[in-house]
Amino acid sequence: MSAILLDGEKAAAQIKAEAAEHVREMAAQGMRPGLAVILVGHNPASEIYVRGKIKASEQVGIYSEQITPPESVTTQELLEAVDDLNRREEIDGILVQLPLPAQVDAKRVLLAVSPDKDVDGFHPMNVGRLSTQRPGLVPCTPAGIMELLRRNSIEVQGRNAVVVGRSDIVGKPMAMLLINANATVTVCHSKTRDLPGVCRSADILVAAIGRAGMITRDFVRPGATVVDVGMNRVTDRAEFERLFAGNGKKAEQFANKGSVLVGDVHPEVAEVAGALTPVPGGVGPLTIAMLMSNTVKAARLRREKEAAEAGEASAPVTAGGRR
């Protein structure tokens, strides 16, 4: 048995094409969505991520701009930059690229982003909206996973889902999205007893723990759908052999580059699972695609909210003092 590989690149291209169509429709009405990214200092990894986001914005037709404070920036200066973006009408989405320098209170800065422009979906108000199934912005990676499942006709309703990892960015919102889609969900973590046994109960298993190849075939029920959120760079020879023994292509890559990428799921799981996301090329491409989708969604929701508020303000007041 060999798992069907769930192509994240293909799904991401579809999502971006749909976002581009929405942008064209909105632009025809004079409402081009806008995204602002705050990138502090010169972190090479962050610069690569931000370039990808700006490039995707250009491809989709979203107006984008990059705010680049110096590494020495203070919390107050960042709060002022966020406040300025919150007020700007042409900016629909605000993204603060993490990590921030040690002297900056990252939680205060993220909390300062308007929930209506929080395209990362991290603001407590958006977390509450997700929990109570109200319209709002959802973290990009979990939202992308749900799109990948839907576009591959993988049924969620009524299935047993296990999420390994409880981070605010992936694990918790992933569990809420699956619950909202009528799955029965178990969330696992480092204190979970008999983790392999719990994982084997899953029809859908989502691994988001940040440990290279931790989920082995013993964790997976034959035929299950396995979603690998991890992205780990392996540089240790012994670790490489544990994961890729006998894989000539990977051995050549390791010899040439001194490293290989692997997810949280051991490659041997492909022999057991019914469907599996590859690393790279699985979940990764979906995150930026959903950022584009979230920016378009933020523009639409914000304008609908403004129109509703304007309608309420112009409604006549009755004799009883109510509109």
State the pLDDT at residue 1.
Answer: 58
Contact 92, 295 (CB under 8 A): yes
CB 93 within 8 A of CB 117: yes
Tell me whether residue 133 is one of the annotated catalytic residues.
no
Is 120 among the catalytic positions? yes
* 32 class by beta-carbon count within 10 Å (0-12 exposed, 13-18 middle, 19+ buried): middle
Q: Which among 292, 294, 269 is positioned nearest to 279, based on CA atoms?
A: 269
Q: CB of 34 within 8 A of CB of 95?
A: no
The residue from 116, 118, 120, 228 that is catalytic is 120
| pLDDT tens per residue across all 323 residues of the chain | 589 999 999 999 999 999 999 999 999 999 999 999 999 998 888 999 999 999 999 999 999 999 999 999 999 999 999 999 999 999 999 999 999 999 999 999 999 999 999 999 999 999 999 999 999 999 999 999 999 999 999 999 999 999 999 999 999 999 999 999 999 999 999 899 999 999 999 999 999 999 999 999 999 999 999 999 999 999 999 999 999 998 999 999 999 999 999 999 999 999 999 999 999 999 999 999 999 999 999 999 988 888 888 777 666 655 544 44
pLDDT for the residue 116:
96
pLDDT at 315: 66
Distance, CA of 236 to CA of 259 (rounded, Å):
8
pTM of this structure: 0.92
Instruction: Please give, one letter per residue, the 3-state secondary structure of 240-286.
Output: HHHHHCCCHHHHHHHHHHCCEEECCECHHHHHCCCEECCCCCCCHHH
Residue 76: CB partners within 8 Å, gap ≥ 6? none
Q: What is the pLDDT of residue 312?
A: 73
Contact 14, 148 (CB under 8 A): no
* Residue of 53, 117, 172, 250 with catalytic role: 53
What pLDDT shows up at residue 317?
55
Cα–Cα distance measured from residue 54 to residue 292, given in angstroms and rounded to the nearest whole number: 10
Query: Do 288 and 56 meet the contact criterion of CB atoms below 8 Å apart?
Result: yes
In order of their start, the domains of the chain are 29-115 (3.40.50.10860), 140-284 (3.40.50.720)
